[in-house]
Chain A
Amino acid sequence: MKMKMNENKDYRKSSFQIIYIFLGLFVFMMGYFVYFIVFKSDDIVNSPYNKRQEVLAERVIRGDILSSDGATLARTVTDGDDEIREYPFGEVYANVVGRFLKGKTGIEQSENIRLLTSNVNALEIAYDDLVGKKCPGDDVVTTLNAELSQVAYDALGDYRGAVVVMEPATGKILVMVSKPSYDPNDIDSSWEELIADEDEESPLINRATQGLYPPGSTFKILTALEYMRENPTTYKDYEYDCDGSVEYGDMTIHCYNNKQHEEVDLPKSFAKSCNTSFASIGKGLNIDSFFSLCEDFSFNKNLPITMESNQSKYTLKKGSSSVSELMQTAIGQGHTLITPLHNAMITATVANDGVMMKPYIVDHIENADGGAVKRYSPEVLAKPMTGKEANYIGKMMRLVVTDGTGTKLKNMEQKAAGKTGSADNANGKAHAWFIGYAPYDDPKIVVSIIVENVGTGSDYAIPIAKKIFDAYFKQ
């Protein structure tokens, strides 16, 4: 009898354990299900592959896209049963806000599901349902500054190029302009012409996130940083005697206009953008650690932005790259390519004490009555350099303005800092670069400007930067 009792106890115990094991499995599974619906499903349902978006579109009027200063960048106008998507600013935001027809792009694509979701109160939805009316979709309020965007767009004039303006402390994108652009209102009639692109101007490309350019001298920020890291005690004693050119094998690197900078230290080499000095610095750098530094700064990585973008490329690798390529790379030529947005992020990292913020473009989502539905907040992306390093590079960037290639910004009321670049390329004149921030003591905005095939950064990019800075600080 006793024996049987023990056996009974055993099987009861094991049966209960089996219950607990399977209950555990089910609880985990339900937990994952809840987690999926609450946290993951938003991103997943927004995939362009999800055809259910069209089902939602039959019940909801697509919401508006607004700028942070209250301008309407995109809206839906109903005309009887027809719905027309309107872009009041035409070409200005075509690349960042994107288009609705001919394959959604930009914010129209990344926030598609938000625009097609109605969060007005349940009674209103029920009422609309009852009378067979569509519900108003949620509005997307961007971080974009409409006034500044217009200034940047006008400042670029007829040139091809891009402008990105960011807040270094938050990663908010205030301006993203790409030229040439197109008018999304006329996309239906101009589509054939746009895709034929006979002038090879690629108006459909968002140059700010997809344009890959040689960084030119703006890359010297990273070369200088690598040099400082490899020579932590002696970099302040660096000296170089520049006679306008340097040779290696059958390659010659010139300073701009063969200018002889004579005796320079590191900050001066940087401020004057002395190519020969930086090429000789490059010769001595450790290829592997330079590579990993660039990857820390997000080269060869997808940028965390919700629109079409390209990876910046840094290919210099031990064994497969020659010394002459190393020297070219150190002055921002070689095979290195960068997007204007990425260059803005690197500049913002300098301005933000070495902390790289995740760039973002949607500030919050609100329902048709203006109530907040979801708010996005700044996120740290990486800390690729120390505050001390950022400080020193900041000082050098300030020297560019006070005593270097950026003196056109010298007389601004707010102290600016930055770096010019003139990137040689196969398609003609150099691309003009300027990356910079202001005020130097308490950085509020960062600009990254590229003007294609015009000449030097100081002649073509800096004037644009000045207009943007002036407009921003007048606001």
Chain B
Amino acid sequence: MSLIVELIKYLMILLIGIYSYYSFRVFSYRKKERQSKAYYGLTTVIFSLHFVGYATLILQMPSVKLLMLYLCEVALFILVLSIYRILYPKLSRLLMRNMLMLLAISFIILTRLSVDEAIRQVSIVACSFLVCLLVPFFIMKLQFLKRFGWIYVLLGIGILMVVLIAGTTTFGATNWLQIMGISTQPSEFVKLLFIFGLAALFKEESSFKRICVISAMAGINVIILVLQRDLGGALIFFVTFVFMLYAATSRLLYLFSGLLGGSVAAIAAYQLFYHVRVRVMAWSDPFQYIDDQGYQITQSLFAIGTGGWFGMGINRGLPTDIPVVESDFIFSAISEELGGLFAICLILIYISCFVMIINIALEQEESFYRLTSIGLAVMFAFQVFLSIGGDIKFIPSTGVTLPLVSQGGSSVFSTILVFMILQGIYIRGRSRKQDNSGNTQEEEYLPDIKTEDFYENENE
């Protein structure tokens, strides 16, 4: 029995290794057949990894419930792949597969941690895909979306204010809202409003004065989040703003002064707020505070350290010793049981998503869509960075979920929404390019071979 678990452990590392390699290799494939082959390969890997992961789980705790859960997940993956493909033949297959791969890993590890939580998560994911079914369509067709810049930003601020006043507190942060018995984390959705708002406001040439006003608006968002003690959220909003400002203006001065201002604000927050100091203390010397503030991070380090490169094997470690392992510290659980190599491949898949999203941005002629994509890319990548960096003690822990992998309804729904918005933008960009290609007028950026290498030419 343990031999099988042991073998599956290595098999899973091999599978994710193959996957992460091809998730980059595919950027350089120019021919349609090769790309299609690669995508079939990636799909096969997803289903194989998912299968062997659940095989270990079911072998160790045989139950009909688990088997049903597995079958439901397989059905979900097949449905998502086929329905979205039928509705949107031109969607980015790489992004779609990366998404499913991350979800498959999430389902395996969540089931291992708590079967009931996993069932809940799978249902939420299924609903999210259903709800988001028409999102790409709306993004493609609704041209007026880009007109409401101020409304998005003000609406976002309004929602955050409501949360600040009426929200409930979990793990020290007041960022949950109970609506009709369902508790949600509204900042996950305000993020999207924020990015749409900024993209709409920055889409035209901005005067210095206008930039100042927009910055002030962004600043209010960040300050409300700091008041809610949602440090991770505040950081994500801030960094997203700085990079969108840079993408809109292409002026390094803004980027540097933004990052400098951020550093000053971080130092000020450290001086002003006790809970910020506690986080930093727990980060700089967790073993001194091992019984309270440092407990979580030391447990996480024990998990990663004991797991080593190859992991303890599914169900053979103690990830449940880490508080909130299923959301903020999911990466440590993965590293402990599936191994450090597996964890690194997981990071590579996130990087593949990020590069692909920036690619989508590069193909957009309209600055609204371009800026939206950049904003979403930065937000996504930075969230991954904060979550994993906090788990491995690279940076102080900020209590941020790992997109698509962590348990949490608001988080996974908003991430699926983001990916579907990006699919809409991607399809829209490609259709317009094809429309234009009938023209004699060559687009200016096409001869740029370097970016062309990044871009997938499927179905052309």
Contact = CB atoms under 8 A, between A and B. Distances in A.
Interface string B179-220: 000000000000000000000000000000000000000000
Nearest to A46: B305
Given A18-B358, A29-B392, A36-B305, 13 more contacts: A15-B362, A22-B378, A34-B344, A37-B305, A37-B340, A41-B306, A44-B298, A44-B305, A51-B318, A52-B318, A53-B306, A55-B312, A130-B3
B21 interface: no
B247 A29 contact: no
Interface string B3-21: 1001000000000000000
A13 to B, nearest CB: 7
Given A37-B340, A52-B317, A29 B304 contact: no
A4 to B, nearest CB: 7
A96 to B, nearest CB: 24
Given A11-B247, A36-B304, A18 B378 contact: yes
Contacts of B388: 29
Contacts of B3: 126, 129-130
Contacts of A471: none
B243 interface: yes
A30 B361 CA distance: 26
A362 B377 CA distance: 50
Interface string B373-408: 010011001100100110011100000000000000
B250 A11 contact: yes
Interface string A5-48: 10010111111011100110110111011101100111011010
B140 interface: no
A11 B370 contact: yes
Interface residues of A, number: 42
A189 interface: no
Contact of A12 (B302, B318, B321, B362): B362
B206 to A, nearest CB: 13
B310 to A, nearest CB: 10
A56 interface: yes
Contacts of B343: 33
19 contacts: A11-B367, A14-B246, A19-B358, A25-B385, A26-B350, A26-B381, A26-B385, A29-B385, A32-B394, A37-B305, A37-B309, A40-B305, A41-B304, A41-B308, A42-B305, A45-B305, A47-B287, A126-B6, A130-B3
A42 B304 CA distance: 11
B152 interface: no
B426 interface: no
Contacts of A29: 347, 385, 388-389, 392, 394
Nearest to A132: B2
A50 interface: yes
B444 A4 contact: yes
A8 B381 CA distance: 24
Interface of A: 4-5, 8, 10-15, 17-19, 22-23, 25-26, 28-30, 32-34, 36-37, 40-42, 44-45, 47, 49-53, 55-56, 59, 126, 129-130, 132
A36 B374 CA distance: 32
B451 interface: yes
B6 A129 contact: yes
B298 A14 contact: no
Nearest to A55: B318
B303 interface: yes
A18 B2 contact: no
Contacts of B61: none
A312 B303 CA distance: 35
A30 B345 CA distance: 10
A45 B302 contact: yes
Contacts of A59: 2
Nearest to B301: A44
Q: Is the interface of A mostly helix, strand, loop or mixed?
A: helix
A30 B347 contact: yes
Q: Which 7 A-B pairs rank lowest in CB-CB distance, beginning with the nearest?
A: A41-B305, A10-B250, A45-B305, A52-B306, A50-B302, A14-B250, A129-B3
A33 B367 CA distance: 37
Contacts of A129: 2-3, 6
A32 B370 CA distance: 33
A22 B304 contact: no
Given A12-B451, A33-B344, A26 B351 contact: yes
B144 interface: no
Contacts of A47: 287, 298, 302
B380 to A, nearest CB: 10
Nearest to A26: B351
Contact of B317 (A30, A34, A55): A55
Nearest to A59: B2
B290 interface: yes
A8 B444 contact: yes
Interface string B320-343: 010000000000000000001001
B303 A5 contact: no
A266 B362 CA distance: 82
B222 to A, nearest CB: 20
B445 interface: yes
B355 interface: yes
B157 to A, nearest CB: 26
A224 B287 CA distance: 40
Contacts of B303: 52
B316 interface: yes
Contacts of B367: 11
Contact of A5 (B355, B444, B451): B444
A245 to B, nearest CB: 49
B247 A18 contact: yes
A11 B250 CA distance: 6
A36 B247 contact: no
A161 to B, nearest CB: 33
A19 B290 CA distance: 37
